[in-house]
Amino acid sequence: MAVCEKHTGLYKQLDEYIESVKDKKGMLINVLHRAQELFGWLPQEVQDHIAKKLNIPVSTVYGVVTFYNFFSTKPKGKHQIKVCLGTACYVKGADRVMERFLNELGVEESEVTQNGLFSVHGVRCLGACSMAPVVLIGEKDFYGKVTPDMVPEILKKYNKEGE
């Protein structure tokens, strides 16, 4: 398979990182973190590449990737929308909030919008139950007491960033 220029650059950066941590304890996890940082997720080709570079079986790499839910084997949007589906949020209508996000964006759960800007993910308790239902966008944008009607306004903010 032909690798595009952008990806060649990413593989180069990944290889440099691998060289710098090779033979260090726990380096597989660090390498996977770095790869996910670079590629946004961990495609099969990248996992194969890492296994080859580290001279370990692909099944070992895959085992670690699937063990930690931090690692993703599916592409994600630039803005990951995490809708808490924990009990406290669920009883306050998180499922309807989730549904509204999916409808507004025209995607299924975990699918990336065509413009690459968003993906929506149901997650477990985010530790802010008093603000239920809770939505987290990216790493730090928390929204509490979210209603389905607030969803278009929330999305507008991130759509503007993409213009």
Convert residues 120-159 into a mask of x (bound to ligand FES by CB under 6 A) and - (unbound): -----xxxxx--x-x-------------------------
CB of 113 to ligand FES, least distance (A): 24
The Cα-based distances of 91 to 51, 120, 126, 142, 143 in angstroms read 44, 20, 15, 19, 17
- CA–CA separation, 67 and 39 (whole Å): 19
Name the closest residue to ligand FES (Cβ): 86
Phi-psi region of 119 (alpha: psi -120 to 50; beta: other; left: phi over 0): beta
Place of tokens 């670079």: 38
Q: Does 64 bind ligand FES (CB under 6 A)?
A: no
Asked if 97 touches ligand FES (CB under 6 A), the answer is no
Site for ligand FES (CB under 6 A): which residue of 84, 98, 146, 151? 84
**Beta carbon of residue 89, minimum distance to ligand FES (angstroms, whole number):** 3
Under the binding rule (CB under 6 A), the answer on residue 89 touching ligand FES is yes
Over 119-143, what HEC string results?
EEEEECCCCCHHHCCCEEECCCEEE
Q: Which of 158, 153, 126, 156 is nearest to 142 (CA)?
A: 126
Among 51, 88, 117, 150, binds ligand FES (CB under 6 A): 88
Strand 79-84: give its sheet, edge to edge: 118-123, 79-84, 135-137, 141-143
- Which of 8, 44, 87, 114 touches ligand FES by CB under 6 A? 87
The smaller minimum CB distance to ligand FES, of residues 42 and 126, is found at: 126
Which is nearer to ligand FES, 40 or 122 (by Cβ)? 122
